[in-house]
Amino acid sequence: MKRLADELLVTPGKKVRLDRIDPDGTHGVDRAAAEKRFDKDRAELLELQNVLYAEARRSVLVVLQGIDASGKDGTIRHVMSGLNPQGVTVTSFKAPDGEERRHDYLWRIHRAVPEWGKIGIFNRSHYEDVLVVRVHNLVEKAVWSKRFEQINDFERMLTASGVHILKFFLWISKDEQKKRFEARLTDPSKNWKFSADDTKERKFWDEYIVAYEDMLAKCSTEAAPWYVVPADHKWFRNLAVAQILRDEMRRMKLSYPKAK
């Protein structure tokens, strides 16, 4: 099966046009073969996680971003379900409140970075501070425009400290988003996920796309690359994230410590 990391990677310094990336695409991957491969990838991820935990001198940070209903929760549930929960932390970032508002915007992010030996997953992240604040004019351009380089510096520091960062932008079409919102309304088990704010934010679709393209182009670096994952098909989304995470953890050359 082809190496999806190469195909989905945002080349550092390259301009991004999301309208040229098909959110319905599967890069020639067959669903039946993908589902078999997915199970093997998850099994290997557990093995790699065990070595990471035992080694305890590096960590892995998975950042999930995407427009509403793109599948961040589903990705966590399906891709990470086979891991040992003792070695995984999941942090969901909502609008800052209380103590968070009395610190710089990266303070709450740094607190949630996984300790060595663990895999940390961010459901939304520090990138909200160049997305939602921009779209809704919560801070001036003079403020948010400086944050791209601040974030790059922050991520380079984390990488130099042993944190391996992988960032996934889950890319769905506007039509698929509508279908998922409707499913939340018609399925009683999903009603709780629907919010009136979802429809309000949908009105800013074009503004968010411009902000996402800027984010991807300016913050995909050698230290912390972005991957654009077509996510209209949930099975392909899950396969892509699992495969890329597995490949990158392989590249870390993890090893069990020797007995003293």
Percentage of the chain exceeding pLDDT 90: 90
Q: Strand 226-230 and strand 59-66: pairing?
A: unpaired
Per-residue pLDDT band for 2 (boundaries 50, 70, 90) equals low
Q: Report domain extents, the chain.
A: 4-251
Q: Residues 119-163: pLDDT tens digits?
A: 999 999 999 999 999 999 999 999 999 999 999 999 999 999 999
DSSP state of 183: H
- Assess whether pLDDT exceeds 80 at residue 112: yes
Given this model, what pLDDT does residue 241 score? 98
Strand 59-66's sheet: what is its strand order? 88-92, 119-123, 59-66, 163-171, 226-230
Question: With contact defined as beta carbons under 8 Å apart, do 23 and 233 qualify?
Answer: no
Q: What is the CATH number of domain 4-251?
A: 3.40.50.300
Helix, strand, coil % in the chain, rounded to nearest 5 = 55, 15, 35
